Structure 1
């Protein structure tokens, strides 16, 4: 009995309302006087509670005199409560102010990051864009497979030493993939083109990520992902020709956009493919 009363209170009914509903379900239709007598409660409180329950659709008033109420069947009651709660939740979701802008949440710790990522993958309805290294892909294979089984479109880009993207996208500032991964392995997810996570895992740093639903971040990550796919397919079809024209990893193009200080440190002339020439001393 106490457990039933506890759950009714959790559903928003007061103590006296919960007791009235259980009493009528147990003893059948009755008036306020009978119920108050059985419960040892004030008649005025019982009458007021019965009227509230009738307005909420949780009790039904019977025809005739004297005034009597009956309890709904359990399935009728739960259906009534469910409809009321769903309507309230929908209204709150639609009407609650969302604030001036989408926040950026910073999160650290391997378990915390992977837990929230698995949760959002489980909530996905239409699409998940995945840009990860093979180590992280293996950890998340199960929740992503479950999402696909629900009909969610999952689009992958896996990075790693045996994957073409590693060469295409490893800009010339990296000496090799080992140097690239010492600071951690980058990963990003975009769920339903709104929820985003961008972070690093492994290497010399603790796992960390930034989480947001800001539309600008979603747009940037989706554009980045699309560019990766375009570059990958270009490299697969025209790899030798592209390397001959633009250098390894499109180095000749990227040189134009690397900071001058960094270029000078590496001894590269920004105007050509040749090492920078030092002026001879007179």
Structure 2
């Protein structure tokens, strides 16, 4: 009995409500006077509880004089409680204020070792795709970890400078003069996008410190994906229309770039 009363109280019923429901389930139809006498409770309190439970649809009340109350069958009673709980849970889920999420952060790393370590860790957890844009000097550094990823089914998409000294037409425009170029831009650039949700981009070599920027910011991911897509498009166009493009716009699209220098 005590355990039953405890479970009813955990469902939100008061101690008196729980005792009256259990009593009516056991004894059957009873008047308020009979309930108060058997439970040893004040008649006014018992009548107030009976009316409250009746209003909630948990008790049935006869039209006789005196009125007699009966408890719903257990399966009907528990169904009502279950529906109320589900309705409340649904409302709480929709109405509860959402916790503000912090904006994606940017982390700066310096030096080959920390960059290689975090990159190896992320590549090891890649699920379906790694997009790589780097120079041949850096490609060898990541050969082993990328090979492992490919062997477990991760798709690798490359944009790699062959190291023959030729400029990619897409990089034809240099917005800084030699005197204005920040140290960040003096090295060879590289970037990785893993599963289209994590990215690392940076520069290395040419007597500058290796530096990298790590972020999951969706805007940066979108920019890098767009940059990579443009390189693919430019490559395809050059393969199909190379001489025609050079004839019309000059080597490395100089006639276009010069408009915006």
Where on the TM-score scale, by shorter chain, does this alignment land: which range? 0.5 to 0.7
Q: Relative to structure 1, is the Cα distance of residues 126 and 98 closer, same or farther in structure 2, using a 3 angstrom cutoff?
A: farther
How far apart are residue 101 of structure 1 and its match? 0.7
C-alpha contact (below 8 Å) 2:136/2:163 kept by paired residues: no
How far apart are residue 241 of structure 1 and its match? 0.8
C-alpha contact (below 8 Å) 1:182/1:204 kept by paired residues: no
Instruction: Give the structure with higher Rg (CA).
Output: 2
Q: In structure 2, what is the equivalent of residue 138 of structure 1?
A: 140
Q: In structure 2, what is the equivalent of residue 213 of structure 1?
A: 216
> Matches of 1:182 and 1:100 in 2, distance apart?
30
How far apart are residue 237 of structure 1 and its match? 1.6
**Cα offsets for 1:114-145 (capped at 9, x unmatched):** 11111111110010000010111111011111
How far apart are residue 211 of structure 1 and its match? 0.3
TM-score (norm 1): 0.52
C-alpha contact (below 8 Å) 1:195/1:218 kept by paired residues: yes
> Matches of 1:182 and 1:208 in 2, distance apart?
10
Q: Relative to structure 1, is the Cα distance of residues 138 and 235 closer, same or farther in structure 2, using a 3 angstrom cutoff?
A: same
Per the alignment, in what secondary structure is the counterpart of residue 104 of structure 2? Answer: coil
CA RMSD of aligned residues (A): 2.5
Q: Relative to structure 1, is the Cα distance of residues 190 and 228 closer, same or farther in structure 2, using a 3 angstrom cutoff?
A: same
> Matches of 1:224 and 1:156 in 2, distance apart?
13
C-alpha contact (below 8 Å) 2:192/2:199 kept by paired residues: yes
> Matches of 2:158 and 2:259 in 1, distance apart?
30
Q: In structure 2, what is the equivalent of residue 186 of structure 1?
A: 189
1:1-282 matches, within 5 Å, as 99-162=101-164, 166-173=167-174, 183-258=186-261
Q: Relative to structure 1, is the Cα distance of residues 98 and 205 closer, same or farther in structure 2, using a 3 angstrom cutoff?
A: farther
**Cα offsets for 1:207-231 (capped at 9, x unmatched):** 0011000000000000000100110
Per the alignment, in what secondary structure is the counterpart of residue 207 of structure 1? Answer: strand
Q: Relative to structure 1, is the Cα distance of residues 98 and 153 closer, same or farther in structure 2, using a 3 angstrom cutoff?
A: farther
C-alpha contact (below 8 Å) 2:187/2:205 kept by paired residues: yes
**Count of matched residue pairs:** 158
Q: Relative to structure 1, is the Cα distance of residues 171 and 120 closer, same or farther in structure 2, using a 3 angstrom cutoff?
A: same
Q: Relative to structure 1, is the Cα distance of residues 155 and 192 closer, same or farther in structure 2, using a 3 angstrom cutoff?
A: same
**Cα offsets for 1:1-22 (capped at 9, x unmatched):** xxxxxxxxxxxxxxxxxxxxxx
> Matches of 1:249 and 1:99 in 2, distance apart?
45
- Which has the bigger relative contact order, CA under 8 A and spacing at least 6? 2
TM-score (norm 2): 0.56
> Matches of 2:242 and 2:146 in 1, distance apart?
31
C-alpha contact (below 8 Å) 1:128/1:190 kept by paired residues: yes
Q: Relative to structure 1, is the Cα distance of residues 215 and 244 closer, same or farther in structure 2, using a 3 angstrom cutoff?
A: same
How far apart are residue 163 of structure 1 and its match? 7.8
